[in-house]
A = this chain, B = another copy of it.
């Protein structure tokens, strides 16, 4: 399809300009004033045109767990998440659809899905998510979340203190499964890529990292992990490696320009230098980090050191909202309280750059998409500047990022295909989707959590928290 966007507002160096934009096939064909109309004319007057953003870290299956899990730190929250994780492939499909809907309606055209897979149905799980992403038409990276150490390995002193079984699958079996998934489902030309996604050093052996590294090298796959999300994980790195987890990951060759690191909160200056040196990307998930009390990632230090930073929503069990604009807003404002010098604060324009080209740098596509550049793939979003939430007409990017847009996305193109028009998703019937989700979930009753009771006393002891008492249940 061919489109001409007439009179769109775009950011330029010293303000804004009104331009026409031609989309031909999957590319931006021309940007300029007074272009001839080719293909379908789109009235973009009083609309702001920006490149699509990347939702750099998601767990789509957690769609089913939003509004569910109590206020807990990661290590205990995860116990509750595991106890209530959906087990039907249909829910994997619907969860991916829900995640894509949230991302598209908040300015995202690409998602990195660190996907929970159903044990024994790993390939089918990835296929279900891929089917959802293709149907709705979002660009997606699917990194099946894998580990080869038991759950208790994620706690300081966990392996030596807490009862456990060996992990149910061998490292070799997991890597063989990943090879199958790549062979069957990696389709870059269809906008669906498989990435390697060991959950993080806290539950993965070096052998798993090395196997993933080699798989990534053979197929040019992105690499995506959780990194030092909590103070507990930093303690665990000290226990396991006698020092820095970041240095260890560098030594085993896992960090490179295709590697994105979710959270990255508990890093020191030497760690930060390694991220800059290896050209790794940090994915900042501020809302999740607040929800779980994980801490505030040192994002201003990353930017000062030249580390690429992108934004993510994280899964809906730790960010029940799943709005990318909200993740960008809080992910940029939060740091103002960490540095008294406002000259270092993230401006809304910088935040938009981080979300767009920063996001696509993190998935190794910055040369092909992520900016309003002729010849790049057309991942584009039009925001309606007559929407009340973007009024009055002051600085549109400031209000988009610092405000609270309500249904302000008018149109979205992904790889040149129009996925949203007049605020409505064109490829999937959202009302029907909502009804399906409602029907699925209306028999809800409060879960009976079990796993947390096996680990809470240990967690409180190693973290130096006082007497245990009852678990938080609300």
Contacts and interface: CB of A to CB of B under 8 A. Distances in A.
A402 interface: yes
B341 A68 contact: no
A348 B70 CA distance: 9
Interface string A389-415: 111111110111011101100000000
In the A-B complex, the 4 residue pairs with the smallest Cβ-Cβ separation, listed nearest first, are A67-B399, A321-B404, A293-B336, A392-B441
Contact of A392 (B64, B71, B394, B396): B64
Contacts of A346: 71
A334 B290 contact: yes
Given A66-B394, A340-B463, A403-B67, A434 B345 contact: no
Interface residues of A, number: 79
Nearest to A459: B342
A41 interface: no
Given A321-B402, A330-B330, A386-B438, A395 B472 contact: no
A343 interface: yes
Interface centre among A391, A433, A463 (most CB of B within 10 A): A391
Interface string A426-450: 0000100110011011101010000
A166 interface: no
A347 interface: yes
Contacts of A125: none
A378 to B, nearest CB: 26
Interface string A274-290: 00000000000001011
Contacts of A441: 391-394
B293 A347 contact: no
Given A71-B345, A345-B472, 17 more contacts: A66-B399, A66-B402, A67-B392, A67-B396, A68-B394, A68-B398, A72-B342, A290-B333, A291-B336, A293-B345, A388-B433, A392-B437, A392-B440, A393-B438, A394-B441, A394-B444, A407-B407
A76 interface: yes
Contacts of A289: 337
Interface in A61-81: 63-68, 70-73, 76
Given A399-B320, A472-B342, A406 B407 contact: yes
B342 A391 contact: no
A326 interface: yes
B73 A342 contact: yes
Contact of A336 (B292, B322, B334): B292
A393 B322 CA distance: 16
A404 B347 contact: no
A231 B336 CA distance: 14
A337 B465 CA distance: 15
Contacts of A294: 337
A336 B469 CA distance: 19
B68 A395 contact: yes
Contacts of A341: 465-466
A323 interface: yes
A70 B347 contact: yes
Contacts of A164: none
Contacts of A322: 403-404
Interface in A178-208: none
Interface centre among A390, A394, A407 (most CB of B within 10 A): A394
A320 to B, nearest CB: 4
A296 interface: yes
A393 B290 contact: no
